[in-house]
Amino acid sequence: MNGRRPPESGTLVEPGVDRVTVDGRRVEPAADHHYVVLHKPAGVVVTARDPQGRPTVMGLVREAGAPRLFPVGRLDTATTGLLLLTDDGELANRLAHPRHKVAKEYVATVSGVPGERDLRALRGGVMLEDGMTLPADVEVLGSARGLCRVRLVIREGRNRQVRRMLDAVGHPVRELVRSGFGPVRLARLRPGGWRRLRPAELVALREAAGLADAAEASP
Ligand code: URA
């Protein structure tokens, strides 16, 4: 290890720092990553530190016991719902990369009731200042008292994309919740609560990010 042959028994190896070879071949330690699903509440910012002193998502997942978790993509401060955090940089980068078109599901409460024309526009793609959006899945869930709940699935992650798409068709967002990220669902996680990703969810998430390793999961 690190040029010493053989190392004393019981030597501790620090992944990413120590270099271990056996018969001249590099041996990589098994990666031991952390994956956390957080229900981000409104008013909590998705940064490590906030100059304005607002609460951060990092504060909410401190007890997850991982020293260097970072968020997969962003949610606006006002948006609530599912945020993945991990120290697995490769998976995080792939999930955030537009090439993999990982589905993000949102439930938006909007002003007014979008008509067929608005829904068609959202489904086909709307023109925003940074270009046309990819086709989205859109469904009206219900309406009452001048507000409407809309389920929207997008496969990009542009800044404030859902709010801008709904603004563009004349139905500004009053409330926005992310309910799904790829195969992962928010389900009944309470606001501010977090849980570890289940092994089957991790396999499905890796597949969604183009890291097909379903075989690794079988016994
Ligand atoms: N789209 C938005 O407009 N806001 C978010 O927080 C996420 C997606």
pLDDT computed for residue 218 by the predictor? 47
Task: Look at domain 103-181 and name its CATH class.
Answer: alpha beta
Give the start-to-end residue ranges of the domains of the chain: 32-100+184-214, 103-181
Query: Contacts for 182-188 with beta carbons within 8 Å, 24 or more apart?
Result: 182/95, 182/102, 182/103, 182/104, 182/208, 182/209, 183/207, 183/208, 184/37, 184/82, 184/84, 185/82, 186/37, 186/39, 186/81, 186/82
Query: What is the mean pLDDT of the segment spanning 183-209?
Result: 96
Look up residue 164 and give its two tokens: 């801008």
Q: Can you tell me which atom of ligand 1 is nearest the CA of 79?
A: 6
Q: Whose CA is nearest to atom 2 of ligand 1?
A: 160
pTM: 0.84
Beta-bridge partners for 140: 150
Assigned token pair, 96: 């955030």
Please count the other Cβ atoms lying within 10 Å of the Cβ belonging to residue 184.
20
The two tokens of residue 209 are 């990010």
Q: Which CATH class is domain 32-100+184-214?
A: alpha beta
Distance 74 CA to ligand 1 centre (A): 8
* DSSP-based three-state secondary structure for 58: helix
Which residues carry out catalysis? Answer: 76
Residue 194 has pLDDT above 80, yes or no: yes
Least Cα distance to 71 among 37, 32, 108, 106 occurs for: 37
Q: Can 32-100+184-214 and 103-181 be said to share one CATH topology? A: yes
* pLDDT in the model for residue 113: 98
Residue-wise pLDDT for 87-124, tens only, equals: 999 999 999 998 999 999 999 999 999 999 999 999 99
**Pairing relationship of beta strands 80-86 and 184-185 according to DSSP bridges:** unpaired
Nearest to 89 by CA among 198, 211, 212: 211
Q: How confident is residue 200, by pLDDT bands cut at 50, 70 and 90?
A: very high
* Residue 144 CA to ligand 1 centre (angstroms): 23
Name the packing angle between helices 116-124 and 161-168 (round to 10°). Answer: 140
Q: Give the C-alpha separation, 159 to 141, whole Å.
A: 24
Q: 41-81 pLDDT, tens per residue?
A: 999 999 988 999 999 999 999 988 888 899 999 999 999 99
Q: Whose CA is nearest to atom 4 of ligand 1?
A: 160
Q: Is the pLDDT of residue 12 over 80?
A: no
Q: Which two tokens stand for residue 79?
A: 């948006």
* CA pair distance 191, 180, nearest whole angstrom: 15
Q: Which of 163, 167, 169 to mutate to test the pocket of ligand 1 (most atoms within 8 A of CB)?
A: 163
- CA-closest residue to ligand 1 atom 3: 160
Structural element, H or E, at residue 35 = strand 35-40
